[in-house]
Amino acid sequence: MEEISGGTIPVDKSSDFSGNYIDNFKGKDAEEFYSGKYASWEKKNDAFIIHGTGASLEVTVVHQDIIKFRHGNDGYFEDDFSYAIDPAFEPSSTEYKFEELKASFLIKTATLRCYINKENLSVKITNLVGTVVFQDEKGYHWQDHKYHGGTINICTKVLHKGEKFYGLGDKTGKLNLIGTKRELWGTDCYGYGNDTDPVYKNIPFYMGQHSQIGYGIFMDNTFRSFFDFGKERDNACSFWAQGGEMRYYFIYGPKLIDVAQKYTLLTGTAALPPKWALGYHQSKWSYYPESVVRKLGEEFRSRKIPCDVIHLDIDYMDGFRCFTWDKQKFPKPTKMIADLKKDGFKTVVIIDPGIKIDKKYKVYQQGRKGNHFCKRMDGALLKASVWPGPCHFPDFTRKLTRKWWGTLYEGLIHDGVDGVWNDMNEPATFEDGTFPNDVRFDFDGHPCSHRKAHNVYGSLMAQATCEGQQRYLDNKRAFTITRSAYAGVQRYASVWTGDNSASWEQLKLANIQCQRLSSSGISFAGSDVGGFIGSPNGELFTRWIQMAVFHPFFRTHSSGDHGDKEPWKFDAQYVDIVRQFIEMRYRILPYIYTTFWQYSTSGIPMLRSLHMEAHIDPETFYREEEFMLGDHLLICPISEEKAVSRLMYLPKSHWYNYWTDAIEEGQREIKVSAPLNQIPLFVRAGAMIPEQPTMQYVGEIIVEELTLNFYKPFVETISKLYEDKGDGYEYKDGQCSVKTFVSTPSDMSKWKIKQSCEGQFDTEYHQYIGRFHGLDDKPNSIMVDGKECLADSEMVNGVLELKLSINFNEILIN
């Protein structure tokens, strides 16, 4: 590698640093401490530690595109412990070179140059052509925390001209975070709005982009945290935490989608869910008694509206005691669940963390005996109220407590419950909103207060819940939902966006939140369709359903005191359209399942904002509503009342209108017709979109033929189809298949499609129905593996159809 000279990185000593960067306890006159000049350096294992006169900097090359930074005040580092980093993460072997230059240290990887200035230990990272990607402004510094002790640790970076920012999980507001300040402190924010902050989840990861280069920053710190994207000063981006150690990862793209993918691999990919969990879910606070639940199932089946899952909220319990049944409302839960299964319904139940203080309650007895409940500073058990009244709360940061919590699911699994929904786990309480700061936690051997454990509490509850289900589900896959979360939660659970409201603004916000979660490692996300609070009219509910068909987690949920939101509660015209779109969800389930497999194996987001699809196209930087599902579907929801058309942007490519097969050239804005029975939906030219027959629930029928929709290409295009049993873990032993379809245009208007297959999974179907879109007329020839098949084909509504062997190798259309 070539030698690159070092250089000093100037720091503006005169720039104002407002108290807003710290917290409400500090003023701008509080003393700031800095790393100081370089004093010495050493190498420990894979890390380089550069000691300054005030603090030390540890730098680790995790991957050629990922560099980890830790700052140790007064030269001391904390134990390097993380709940977020996937224990299974194994970076590929990375070659790098460390050099000491006159004014700086230089670390070289195959893609990056990282300079550490000897004058002040500030950091600058460039790519190979010398473009500065990431650079300290004031750099790292800290202040003593006046009220809690410890320090408030801050990093201030240069905000480049035209820089955009994305990520941070389920944040409200604009998709592009520029000009805003955001807070991470998981909050039960009932009826939140577009300006509410903080909200439920705590994902301290953001992506920045400038100079056609994308990068990411993951600050792995569970304390209350803040991010300022040019709000205080338009030339500075800052992130800080009210305690702990400043530890962050720099992740290089150069594309934003690469950044999101690498972050997800670092914090862990999601396990494949049971396929039924990707079907339609129906929920309400609450369905009871048993007769109401049975009637709900009967209504779905008699009305032919597909549904896989019925959720039971807190009223199924005996006095809101977790892991119990109200025997008056549900006298025979095992039989009810078994009968629902016969009709194709899975049952998901809610579990909150609050355990009722009741000496006769077995779970309470076990919690006391096993020392599983959180304590106050002076040793008394934490007592706070939630739905059961006064409660104690498990310390999920304790390994033994997580294991105990997992054992509590044995009874529910034995009753036939198929999945668990964790709520109120920010953690939320009625008195003060959350636990007092003096509550103590084990933190897996790193004792701490609630200030450090709060933001990770929900994730660890979800981990305990997931692992508990896995223990008793035999060979079935666990399904967990969580409301609160920290980075890495995707390893254990799906999420939803919390207690939203029935409004057009909230429909748009749900779209943005799900995109943002997907870019933050959490693709298995959705919203309460129709709004949890309030009563949507038929049009709003229909438009929300249309959007949610393309969100990985697809659930209608409502607060019963605000009206019912079952699909048939609206006028007939809306019911028919809603039915058609839920049916569509089931038809394209092979595509969605394949997209989940891609996310599960490679970390690539399922939902992709346009700035991730076309990251150097300026038209995408502020686009919010258009999004991709997987590689080939482009969706733009209708978010205005009475709208029958809308403007949307097509990124560079060619796109087929799903409804008309009309071809549109990309890299331009178009006006799209969208009557009530349609959503703007486009398919990438060259794509293969698989469809299965309409069904009322996953596994209802044996699929004898799978439809493959081929769209004529303009450039070579690759599509995937992943298949396995849809539940269980046999796929880990090779009982799965990945089919690759390469669609290529060639001379003389020819169109070639090649199929290859890895794996030996034996599918139910033994024949394809090929549907070829984009042909003006019936072609002159269709050769399948060298055999002329034109006579066996027919044009149906402008689409050529032909039955195909599932083992075909090549199709040539002329």
Q: Which residues form the catalytic set? A: 423, 426, 499
Q: Is 642 exposed, middle or buried (0-12, 13-18, 19+ CB in 10 A)?
A: exposed
| Alpha-carbon span 595 to 630, nearest angstrom | 5
188-208 burial: b if 16+ Cβ within 10 Å, else e: bbeebeeeebbbbbbbbbbbb
- Reference 202, options 393, 432, 421, 457; nearest CA is 457
CA separation (Å) from 575 to 292, 530, 544, 677? 20, 14, 13, 11
Give the largest CA-CA distance in the chain. Answer: 85
In the block, residue with structure tokens 């890895």: 758
- Reference 584, options 686, 663, 658; nearest CA is 658
- Reference 6, options 158, 116, 112, 139; nearest CA is 116
Q: Is 770 helix (H, G, I), strand (E, B) or coil?
A: strand
| Alpha-carbon span 484 to 544, nearest angstrom | 23
Any alpha helices (H) in 355-446, and if so which ranges?
362-369, 399-407, 410-415
Q: Is 735 exposed, middle or buried (0-12, 13-18, 19+ CB in 10 A)?
A: middle
Residue pair 47/261 in contact (Cβ under 8 Å)? The answer is no
Residue pair 521/86 in contact (Cβ under 8 Å)? The answer is no
| Alpha-carbon span 552 to 630, nearest angstrom | 10
- Residue partners of 623: CB distance under 8 A and separation at least 6: 175, 609, 610, 611, 649
Checking DSSP bridges between strand 132-144 and strand 123-127, what pairing results, if any?
Answer: antiparallel
| Alpha-carbon span 801 to 287, nearest angstrom | 45
